[in-house]
Amino acid sequence: MKTEKVFAGIFLVGLLFKLMYWPFSGVLLVISLGTLAMIYFGGGFYFFSDKKISRQNFPLSIISGVFLAFVVLGILFKLMYWPFSHIYLLVGTYTTPVLLIITYLLKSKATEELKVYYKNIFLRISVWALLCVTFFLTPTSVLLKIQHRNDPELARLKTQLFSDNTNIEYKKQLDDYIRKQDSLKTTGELK
């Protein structure tokens, strides 16, 4: 649980860096969310357990770990503007409510020693489900506008290219604009 909190904290710092357009945001996001996805996918049964590994519902832990890994990867792919983020987030959007319902029903019938386990996994799934739906419903163009709020033309060109990344003309327009901005920066005309 502590490992998970550390990487969640690194994710929040990386998200802040991304929104502020500071360097190393990508590294922080990939390290934090990539590690969380590996933890959930490969070790959900270990990280979701209470104090003892035997005090849990193994099938629920394994299934939750797999689908939470999809959610985490979807958020990572969305923030890095990588392809297939929509698919990961779509899977997460449909599976996390089902997992929440199953967890809630099992919690109501659980013994006292398992109630803490179900409470923790319900909370974890709830947080990631909320983030998943938020990123699923947020268009990439909005993320680009937030990230490049000081340069609306760059945001427009990146959104245009993202909407059709096979269009060579869009890529050329973006490259020309970036070259122009870089040359203005080096000559001191742009601050």
Alpha-carbon torsion (142, 144, 146, 151), positive or negative: negative
User: Do the Cβ atoms of 66 and 84 come closer than 8 Å?
Assistant: no
Q: Which two tokens stand for residue 61?
A: 């832990």
User: Do the Cβ atoms of 105 and 73 come closer than 8 Å?
Assistant: no
Those residues with Cβ within 8 angstroms of residue 119's Cβ, 6 or more apart along the chain or in another chain: 107
Place of tokens 């099992």: 106
Those residues with Cβ within 8 angstroms of residue 127's Cβ, 6 or more apart along the chain or in another chain: none
Tens of pLDDT along the chain (191 residues) come to 688 889 999 999 999 999 888 899 999 999 999 999 999 998 776 767 666 666 677 788 889 989 999 999 999 999 999 989 999 999 999 999 999 999 999 888 888 878 888 888 899 999 999 999 999 999 999 999 998 888 899 999 999 998 888 889 999 999 999 999 888 878 776 65
Closest CA to 147 of 14, 18, 16, 28: 18
Q: What is the pLDDT of residue 95?
A: 95
Q: What is the pLDDT of residue 55?
A: 65
Q: What is the DSSP secondary-structure string of 10-21?
A: HHHHHHHHHHHT
- Quick one: residue 23, left, alpha or beta (phi over 0 = left, psi -120 to 50 = alpha)? beta
Q: What is the pLDDT of residue 54?
A: 60
Q: What is the pLDDT of residue 50?
A: 60
Those residues with Cβ within 8 angstroms of residue 65's Cβ, 6 or more apart along the chain or in another chain: 40, 41, 42, 43, 44, 45, 47, 48
Q: What is the pLDDT of residue 189?
A: 65
> What is the number of other CB atoms lying within 10 angstroms of the CB of residue 89?
25
User: Do the Cβ atoms of 90 and 115 come closer than 8 Å?
Assistant: no
